[in-house]
Amino acid sequence: MSLATTTNYLTPTGREEPWRFTPLNRIGGLHDPSVELHDRISLEPSDIPAGVTITVEDALAFPPLSANEDQVVTRIREGVSKVLVVTIATNAEVALPIFLVRTILDMNPEISRVQVKAGVNSHATLVISNSGDGIFAEEIELNLAAGSNVRFITLQEWGSKAVHVARHHAIIAKDATFTSFVVTVGGSLVRLLPTVEYTGPGSSAELFGLYFATDGQHLEHRVHVEHGVPGAKSRVNYKGALNGDSARTVWIGDVFIKAAAQGTDTYELNRNLLLSDGARADSVPNLEIDTGDIVGAGHASTTGRFDDEQLFYLMSRGIPSEEARRLVIRGFFSEIVSKLNLDEVEERIMARIDNELATVKI
């Protein structure tokens, strides 16, 4: 299906609040109605474990599950004819991770929609890895039924030219637990919207992120957690490093606690490590609380330079400076990486981080 041009949404200009950090001139036209977007299912499952089915469905039969205000997501919703649907059966205990791999090898702008449906009391880990170079927009909606437990890991291991704009939206029902890891180490421009809403009490979300930007990269993560029901919990912890004078990162942490969301427990954290003088990390935590009855709500954001005392300490034990830096950076990220509990993925990420470090002399 080619994209209808009859939509009445506004094309972002870059002056709007949600777009003010994004270099629209580098977004490959994903926001621009005059640029045609190709509708393509690009995720390839490797082994599909028992209890999981992956099908391609008609988009009309699988309409979006959530409200959306993002212009690129609107274009995706209007532009796709098919949806990749990942279904985790009720009560399924899927021990092996579900690996989905996407490799894009040409720069024709393309879009994709995915729905993940986790059945009641099901357990599963989903790993999506993105590599290659392309111009790509996607929406992934995850619907967690009551009592389910989903770990959702996305790896942005793109090449240096890739443009990736995406919304990952989780809808979390009563007593369901959602854990997400966003790892963004590649791409020219990456703009991800990890968003969460709750539909029942006892629901919980832990959102972890790791990004490493080097020269020429703009890596933007806009977390949005909407506490609209009582008794839900959220934890957000994103860590980033920037190496190179034109490295750029943006982290937005919107946590909204609505009047109905009594007993909410939330904490969000973003830490950035600047390895070069010219690198710039924007970090904007934003907590809005409309109820007086909360368990806890807090946020913290720090952006700092490399700690010379740590380097000196390691070097004073004979460790050469390059290796000392590598240890400190690995240490900085290990808090997040070690929670992945997937050895092969952990090693791959750490190796990539070593590589990113090696690209520019600090």
Partner 1 sequence: MSTLEIKGLRVSVVTEEGSKEILRGVDLTINSGEVHAIMGPNGSGKSTLAYSIAGHPKYTITSGSVTLDGADVLEMTVDERAKAGLFLAMQYPVEVPGVSVSNFLRTAVTAVRGEAPKVRTWVGEVKEAMSALSMDPAFAERNVNEGFSGGEKKRHEILQMELLKPKIAILDETDSGLDVDALRIVSEGVNRVKENQNLGIMLITHYTRILRYIKPDFVHVFAGGRIVEEGGPELATKLEENGYAEYVTA
**Residues 17-56, interacting with partner 1 (CB under 8 A):** none
Question: Which CB sits closer to partner 1, 25 or 338?
Answer: 338
Question: Which CB sits closer to partner 1, 152 or 332?
Answer: 332
CB of 326 to partner 1, least distance (A): 10
Question: Which CB sits closer to partner 1, 62 or 333?
Answer: 333
Taking Cα atoms as reference points, which of 172, 123, 175, 174 lies closest to residue 144? 172
Query: Would you say 246 and 338 are in contact if contact means Cβ atoms under 8 Å apart?
Result: no
Kindly list the distances between the CA atom of residue 137 and the CA atoms of 32, 150, 166, 334, 354, in Å, as whole numbers in the listed order.
12, 23, 5, 29, 28
The amino acid at residue 27 is I
Query: Would you say 231 and 202 are in contact if contact means Cβ atoms under 8 Å apart?
Result: yes
CB of 327 to partner 1, least distance (A): 5
List the beta strands (DSSP E) in 173-263: 177-184, 189-198, 204-214, 218-227, 233-243, 248-257
Taking the C-alpha atoms of residue 86 and residue 88, their distance in angstroms, rounded to an integer, is 7
CB of 330 to partner 1, least distance (A): 7
Within a 10 A sphere around the Cβ of 66, how many other Cβ atoms?
15
Helix (H) or strand (E) holding 308: helix 308-315
Question: Which CB sits closer to partner 1, 299 or 330?
Answer: 330
CB of 329 to partner 1, least distance (A): 9
Taking the C-alpha atoms of residue 214 and residue 195, their distance in angstroms, rounded to an integer, is 25
**Residues 174-203, interacting with partner 1 (CB under 8 A):** none
Question: Which CB sits closer to partner 1, 255 or 314?
Answer: 314
CB of 320 to partner 1, least distance (A): 5
Question: Which CB sits closer to partner 1, 298 or 331?
Answer: 331
Which residues, in sequence order, are bridge partners of residue 3? Answer: none
Size of the site for partner 1 (CB under 8 A): 23
CA angle 130, 136, 137 (to 5 degrees): 105
**Residues 142-161, interacting with partner 1 (CB under 8 A):** none
The interface region with partner 1, picked from 48-56, 99-107, 117-125, 302-310 by CB under 8 A, is 302-310
Question: Which CB sits closer to partner 1, 25 or 316?
Answer: 316
CB of 325 to partner 1, least distance (A): 12
Query: Would you say 134 and 106 are in contact if contact means Cβ atoms under 8 Å apart?
Result: yes
**Residues 64-83, interacting with partner 1 (CB under 8 A):** none
CB of 176 to partner 1, least distance (A): 30
Q: What are phi and psi of 45, to 5 degrees?
A: -75, 140
**Residues 308-337, interacting with partner 1 (CB under 8 A):** 308-310, 312-321, 323-324, 327-328, 330-335
Which residues, in sequence order, are bridge partners of residue 52? Answer: 88
**Contact status: 277 vs partner 1 (CB under 8 A):** no
Binding site for partner 1 (CB under 8 A): 308-310, 312-321, 323-324, 327-328, 330-335
